[in-house]
Chain A
Amino acid sequence: MANWTEQKAHIAEAELTLIKGGTGKSLLMLHDELGFPGWMKWNDALAAEHAFVIPLQPGFGKTPRLGWVRSFRDLAGLYSMAVREMGLDPVDVIAFSAGGFIAAEMIAADPKIFDHLILVGPMGLKPEKGEIWDIFPVTIRTHLRATVAAPGTAEFGSIYGGEMTPEQFEAFEDARAESARIGWEPYMHNPSLPYLLRGVKNVPALLIRGSEDRIVPAGCIAAYTKAIDGARAVEIANVGHRPEIENSAEFVRIVQDFLAS
């Protein structure tokens, strides 16, 4: 298990909590709409050659909520400031689900901010076909179950298994509330984003999706590959919205190959 630490950074009146771990070139990780699930096997596997920088989203518990952040674009602006102030740019990024939406907004506003862009089951664009699953009119329990193809996945059980503690319940509700605050309408996408993404040129971009993903349809991936020049899509078979834990070996291999390119 790699060493990782929790640190604070002061950005635009915000006290941003960051998780840092690993060595090598910086890799910005943007967690999904349920919050940072903890340091996982795939983090460990990549940490030998990559130094993770993981901001914990404002309003999700450890970083206080910022009243002025009212959209994913606002949040992307904050994170872009953080990247610049920490001197990380251009940085590699790996972003999950709603975190993918943030990363897409960041690169749309500043096409030079990322060296490599990896979006895993990203929200943010209206799918060409299908709908982004509505995470709000369901209980957290139903939502969690929907994120994986096989709830028996060992690492899924180790994070979310057993009875939910009051602290977990509260943390999930914080995450759901903040996601609603900035992503309620239009639901988890920005209609202007596909047009702005067309300004992104010559940035290696990889889209990863589990073949059984119930949260983000293949239509989102199609919309991204159409919007981002040269973006490549990879599907991992028999996994859901969490390929990084359902088939971490395959996931890590794909990511390592891409980042080495």
Chain B
Amino acid sequence: MQISYFTERPYRGLDEDEILKNKAYFAVPNALFDREQAANDYNYYLDEYCYAEEVGFDALMLNEHHGNPFCMGSVMNVEAAILARITSKAKIVLIGNPLPVLKHPLRMAEELAEIDLISRGRLVTGWVRGAGSEQFFNNANPAYNRELFNEAHDFIVQAWTKPGPWRYEGKHFHYRHVNPWALPYQKPHPQMWIPGVLSPETVRWCAEHRYPYLGLGTALGPTCDLWDCYADEAAKHGYQAGPENFGYLIPTFLAETEEKAQEIGKNFVFGGGQNAFSRPEHTLPPGYNSKGAIRMLAKHPGGSWLGVSPEKLRAQSDDGRPDTTDFDTVRQKLLKGYGKAQKNLQLLIGSPESVLSKAKTLLRVLRPSIFVFFNIQGPVGDEDRKTSMRLIAQELTPRLREYAKEIDLVDPFERTPGSVAYRNGVTRAPVVDRAPLAALGMAG
């Protein structure tokens, strides 16, 4: 079982009204940026990752977003390189580098090899397509997003494994001289874990490559469906998927008392939370989504699909800005969502005692061997953030580790993903346990 620590590294100096006024975090004007605040936050978060290692997390997870105060990690590899040097035993997990928007896979291969070398083989590298807004921010053609992703990934694996020098003439990338001197410490290369938010295309791609898939706080029922989709695809590729193929990230905030946790935990919906990452027009750039996903959105433009609801699609005014300044009403709505997310087990808020059974349910249903705790958003102080981390690592986690052992959640370092053969004609083994869903009102 890999217990991981993750934070978006939120910029903590922004007035919530500015986000609500903009209807999203992306595109909040950078005239509101304060260098002292940012310098403090960046340095604090690096220290916080060291603290995560100190209190016992197995892995430190970083991600990357662009032009967005929701996440300060605009160049994640810089932070990863620093952590490679200032931490000593935890894995450094990148979820992940947005290959299509960075547009330079050879440079990426070199950067990651350096991080793996400095950390002496502690890097786990993941790839993402980049959020919709990032296609705009980086001027990456969204219609080629999937092609760019696939080609960049394949190129990087080759750059790490095929002796150079060689020449590369692809569709989107061209290199005259591929011969990176710095190669990864781990052979043939670091493990790759792929995060996602319910895209069947990504899941099938992961299964084909035998890469663990990480569900990012996705709703339990659809996540089960997706795990099954992975396992079916895995069987087609000749292996039986198991816990080593799955990870799950859960936003969590713990405090000494239930009341305090509930109060501070509201910061998960600060500014609208994850659903306010970007406005619909930035979330859905043209050609970014597959035909299947567009068809699904056309028929059911609701639910939690990328946070785009029919109301949001309809509410867009000509300049995309809000039509309301009644932010208190907006906040009330957000708090309703806060309660609902806890009920649906998409948020764990409370004391170690009160969240234990919920966390166990997640482990039982989804059987992930990588379990990621996502720390609080919003302007929460250092001490409250660290208290939550300590309670997770020292009071909750030991009991979860025991339970994981009991239900045999073997992780990707204990068993190579894709190494269990699947025999044709035999029913594949289940990868989820849906039994508890009925009691939670999530069956069907």
Contacts and interface: CB of A to CB of B under 8 A. Distances in A.
Interface of A: 136-139, 141-142, 145-146, 166-167, 169-170, 173, 176-181, 184-185
Given A170-B295, A176-B287, A139 B281 contact: yes
Interface string B125-148: 000000000001001011110000
Contacts of A169: 294, 297-298
Contacts of A145: 318
Contact of A178 (B143, B280, B298, B313): B143
A146 B318 contact: yes
Nearest to A164: B298
Given A173-B294, A180-B287, A142 B320 contact: yes
B165 interface: no
B176 interface: no
A177 B141 contact: no
A177 B289 CA distance: 9
Nearest to B144: A181
B85 to A, nearest CB: 37
A137 B298 contact: no
B299 A185 contact: no
B140 to A, nearest CB: 9
A139 B132 CA distance: 13
B146 to A, nearest CB: 11
Given A137-B136, A139-B280, A170-B298, A180 B316 contact: no
Interface size class of B (residues with CB under 8 A): 20 to 34
A139 to B, nearest CB: 5
Given A136-B285, A139-B281, A139-B313, A177 B318 contact: no
Nearest to B300: A166
A11 to B, nearest CB: 23
Contacts of A142: 281, 316, 318, 320
Nearest to A165: B298
Contacts of A138: 281, 316, 320
B390 interface: no
Which of B141, B142, B286, B316 lies at the interface centre, i.e. has the most chain A CB atoms within 10 A of its CB? B286
Contacts of B314: 141
Given A137-B282, A142-B281, A180-B142, 7 more contacts: A137-B281, A137-B285, A170-B298, A173-B298, A176-B286, A184-B142, A184-B143
Interface in B125-184: 136, 139, 141-144
Contacts of A170: 294-295, 298
15 contacts: A136-B136, A137-B136, A137-B281, A137-B282, A141-B314, A142-B316, A145-B318, A169-B297, A169-B298, A176-B287, A179-B286, A180-B285, A180-B287, A181-B144, A184-B139
